[in-house]
Chain A
Amino acid sequence: MKRHLISAADLTRDDAVLILDTAEEMARVADRPIKKLPTLRGRTVVNLFFEDSTRTRISFEAAAKRLSADVINFSAKGSSVSKGESLKDTALTLEAMGADAVVIRHHASGAPYRLANSGWIDGAVVNAGDGTHEHPTQALLDAFTMRRRLVGRDAGLGRDLSGRRITIVGDVLHSRVARSNVHLLTTLGAEVTLVAPPTLVPVGVESWPCEVSYDLDTVLPKSDAVMMLRVQRERMNAAFFPTEREYARRYGLDGDRMAKMPEHAIVMHPGPMNRGMEITAEVADSDRCTAVEQVANGVSTRMAVLYLLLGGSEPAVTTNNARTEESK
């Protein structure tokens, strides 16, 4: 029985819309005096983080706790992993502890897939970011934020993002967020344009279901949402652009550029932001920037994912890993 969320490409349109609709109901729990549901009582969710992360881990933790699941946080620092334990042995340990779901972040692309398909564990595997591959829950919360802002909170229920034009700007090469978003947003009917310096566009991008542009200013007036990616300094082991200042001037979003966007268009950022680099403080602090809202929506979206994967006898979302293999 497949019950994992490894790649945004595994989700069908109906699955994705179901997750977004469920997240909309989960969001209402946050407005109540008692922000807790008994749904996952007695289930154990392990947050297995081999890579630093604050917001994703806290977001998953909050989501699991609001659904009454027991949460075990496992970070590679200060664990047996720093003593050289393999992924397999770590997985077997978690299995022995009875983990019903493992939320994994790993620096190696494909680690969640390996965990899900190795037979080491029985529980559900949720990919919380693997290397430069995918980060499906981030894409889901981005889509959720877009649907709320561009279609409407109630009007959006049951609907996708068809016809919306989404621009993703920046370090696409290293960005698992961009990869997951391209898959998910296309599934939801949106038209995606990637804007990046040629050196930061991945090889094989022609096969992605999106457009590629090198000029931010021509794309901005035609965008309903602009997603600024973080320049990942920690992965910049080669000279991808001459100076940070030049990058900021050509691909950074400042007040003047934001003024070229349509009235209704929003600015998104998955965080953490490098102010002054890909986004100026003026834009980051404006009403049109949804960065903080995205964090709040992240909890609701992850609650929806955990509920749909763990809430019943079998997952309501039919993520089929066979399709991942096809799409590779």
Chain B
Amino acid sequence: MDAHRDANPPGSVSARPVLEAPDIARVLTRIAHEIVERAKGADDVVLLGIPTRGVFLARRLAAKLEEITGGKTPVGSLDITMYRDDLRLRPARALARTEIPGEGVDGRLVILVDDVLFSGRTIRAALDALGDIGRPRAVQLAVLVDRGHRELPIRADYVGKNLPTSLRETVKVQLTEEDGRDSVLLGTRGTAAAEQ
């Protein structure tokens, strides 16, 4: 959904995988263990995925947490479109679903889940969106890939893979639920995608 992150330029034939399906599974298992460790059992954790792919990652993390703790972890989605700071730079975009679990977020540990952490602006918007929904005890951030180039003072609490990139490169996360396969691709921005 964020063209900054997952635009896959038509011209980028050279995209090479940096994470494959087994790597992604392993990484998510590790993050799940880290969550249980840091949250001391993950009793009050609520996972909120940022559409589109963050939602699938949040659901997978919830399944892993259930394997580890035996308890159900509430999982939902948080659309940030209406809170973006670049709304006026592009045509109005379609909204995605915000689904807050029945338990709500008040007094809980909310973990935001996204696929790629880049400028940090998406997460800034997510924090604003979350503030209109309730008051969590704390908010943490889990991402599959941190590609650097932050434009805001934001960092992730759980990182699947740190991927140093140049601004000319693109990072594309593919997940089975959306793209039919699991992988993280690193490509070079083609001239076709120069409109970004």
Contacts and interface: CB of A to CB of B under 8 A. Distances in A.
B132 A22 contact: no
Contacts, number: 55
Taking each of B82, B92, B98, B132, which has the highest tally of chain A beta carbons within 10 Å of its own beta carbon? Answer: B92
B20 interface: no
B91 interface: yes
A38 B83 contact: yes
Interface stretch (A29-37, A80-88, A211-219, A271-279): A29-37
Contact of B94 (A21, A34, A38): A21
A312 B132 contact: no
Given A25-B79, A32-B132, A39 B95 contact: no
A312 B88 contact: yes
A311 interface: yes
Interface in A124-155: none
Contact of B93 (A28, A33, A38, A316): A316
B94 A311 contact: no
B94 A316 contact: yes
A28 B87 contact: no
A315 interface: yes
B97 interface: yes
Main secondary structure of the interface of A (DSSP, over half): loop
A102 interface: no
A316 B98 contact: no
Taking each of A36, A307, A309, which has the highest tally of chain B beta carbons within 10 Å of its own beta carbon? Answer: A307
Size bin of chain B's contact surface:
10 to 19
Interface in A22-74: 22, 25-26, 28, 32-34, 36-39
A199 to B, nearest CB: 44
B94 A22 contact: yes
A161 interface: no
Contacts of A316: 91-94
A312 B98 contact: no
B91 A312 contact: yes
A238 to B, nearest CB: 45
A18 interface: yes
A25 B87 contact: no
Taking each of B88, B89, B134, which has the highest tally of chain A beta carbons within 10 Å of its own beta carbon? Answer: B88
Contacts of A311: 82, 87, 92-93
A310 B90 CA distance: 11
A308 interface: yes
A173 B79 CA distance: 44
A314 interface: yes
A28 B98 contact: yes
B89 A25 contact: no
B64 to A, nearest CB: 27
B91 A315 contact: yes
B128 interface: yes
A235 B166 CA distance: 68
28 contacts: A18-B94, A21-B94, A22-B94, A25-B96, A28-B98, A32-B132, A32-B133, A33-B134, A34-B132, A34-B133, A36-B132, A37-B83, A38-B82, A39-B82, A309-B92, A311-B87, A311-B92, A312-B91, A312-B92, A313-B90, A313-B91, A314-B91, A314-B92, A315-B91, A315-B92, A316-B91, A316-B92, A316-B93
Given A307-B82, A316-B94, 14 more contacts: A22-B94, A22-B95, A32-B132, A33-B133, A34-B133, A37-B82, A38-B82, A38-B83, A38-B128, A307-B92, A310-B92, A312-B87, A312-B90, A316-B91
Interface of A: 18, 21-22, 25-26, 28, 32-34, 36-39, 307-316
Interface of B: 79, 82-83, 87-98, 128, 132-134
Closest 3 CB pairs of A and B: A312-B92, A311-B92, A316-B92
